Amino acid sequence: MKSHLKLILKISAAILLCVFVVSVSVLLSFTSNIRNACAATKNFKPGMTVPQIFASFPRNFSTVIIDVPLRQNACKTSSGEVLPPDTYPVYFPEIPDSDLDGKDLATEAAAYPFHFDRFLRLDEHLRERRAWPELIQAWTAFIQDDNGSNHNTSYRKQVAQAYCRRGSAYLAKNDIWQGFSDLRKGCGLGCRECCLTLDKIPSAQLKTFKQEEQRIHDNAEPCEPPTTTFSLSGPLVGDTFELETHAPDGTHGRRFFSRGDLSAMVAREFVGRQWLLAFTFVTDSPAKVSFSVIVGRDGKVEEVSAPRIWD
């Protein structure tokens, strides 16, 4: 009996030792990846030119996205339409653990591809709880999934209703500006519910909104033309970059560039524009490390962000 117990203890100790060794190995690898990312940020300094940027490229990156930053202010198109500031993609809202029914409904609604009826069930539940931030975030995810390419009449009606539902949530949250904007958008897309809700907005609030809208219209800068987004896959082998292109018209392509040719092409594409390089490094854990290099309109580095760890 004692011999069996000793054997079990030895096996348990061996297992614990293996777990410890693996854990330490993963931790050391993760720490090494962070050091690599931190070291890579030091390759870039404010004032560097585009050729100097690409001459300083780290080799051990996972991906690099080359694009213009999100637009922070409204802008005016050549037709006079005012476009709102760009927004980051919205992830599905976190429902509190105390709301078990809500978590189940949110899980169903978040299943891709999205189904409008699932969103309506989640909408009804969140409205009962007056959970306006979560409701707004859910409908934003649905709206952002719409890229305008689906011209099915039924689907376009769903998008119009999504604006209406989100707009009414904004109004309930006392965000008149966003609420009115969404309701007008939904009404313009053919949602009768939106149009009826618009008619019920008090005239004083409507006057304030239109005054603010006119101020934004008068002060909006002209919109800059869309640019091609580029992505690089790492790690870098030799001196050849594998580049994927994502054009504004939705077409994609893949090409290989030398360091010098890539530098010249990117400089031409973004001449006179502010742009950035977003670096990502993988680790042996689910976490990733990233940082960005911001390039100004003069073609020189403006800012290098600190490394950020994310899942």
Q: Residues 63, 231: contact at Cβ < 8 Å? A: yes
Distance CA 110, CA 3 (A): 55
The size of the chain, in residues, is: 311
Phi, psi of 15 (to 5 degrees): -65, -45
pLDDT of residue 18: 41
Nearby residues of 53 by Cβ (< 8 Å), 6 or more positions away = 44, 263, 277, 293, 295, 301
pLDDT of 161-180, one tens digit each?
999 999 999 989 988 888 88
Task: Give residue 14's pLDDT.
Answer: 44
Q: How far apart are CA 201 and CA 259, in angstroms?
A: 58
Q: What does the alpha-carbon distance between residue 175 and residue 135 come to, in Å, rounded to a whole number?
A: 14
What domains appear along the chain, each with residue ranges and CATH number?
35-68+224-310 (no CATH), 82-222 (1.25.40)
Q: Mind giving me the DSSP string for 97-159?
A: TT-HHHHHHHHHHHSSSP-HHHHHHHHHHHHHTT-HHHHHHHHHHHHHT--S----HHHHHHH
Written as six digits, the tokens of 113 are 């591809």
3-state SS assignment for residue 82: strand
Helix (H) or strand (E) holding 245: strand 240-246
Asked whether 124 and 116 are in contact (CB, 8 A), the reply is: no
State pLDDT tens for residues 13-42.
444 444 443 344 444 454 666 676 677 888
CA 16 to chain centroid:
41
Spacing of C-alpha 4 from chain mean position: 57
Q: Looking only at Cα atoms, what is the longest distance across the chain?
A: 89
**Residue 94: CB atoms within 10 Å:** 10
100: CB partners within 8 A, 6+ apart:
none
pTM above 0.85, yes or no: no
Residue 83, SS3 per DSSP:
strand
Question: At 6, is the secondary structure helix, strand, or coil?
Answer: helix
Q: What is the pLDDT of residue 167?
A: 93
- One digit per residue, the tens of pLDDT, for the chain of length 311 reads 545 444 444 444 444 444 443 344 444 454 666 676 677 888 899 999 999 999 998 888 889 999 999 888 889 999 988 888 887 777 778 888 899 999 999 999 988 888 999 999 999 999 999 999 999 999 999 998 876 555 677 888 999 999 999 999 998 998 888 888 899 999 999 999 889 988 888 888 888 888 888 888 899 999 999 999 999 988 888 888 899 999 988 899 999 999 899 999 999 999 999 999 999 988 777 778 889 999 999 999 999 998 888 76
CA distance 208 to 204: 6
Q: Residue 32's pLDDT is what? A: 62
Sign of CA pseudo-dihedral 271, 272, 278, 279: positive
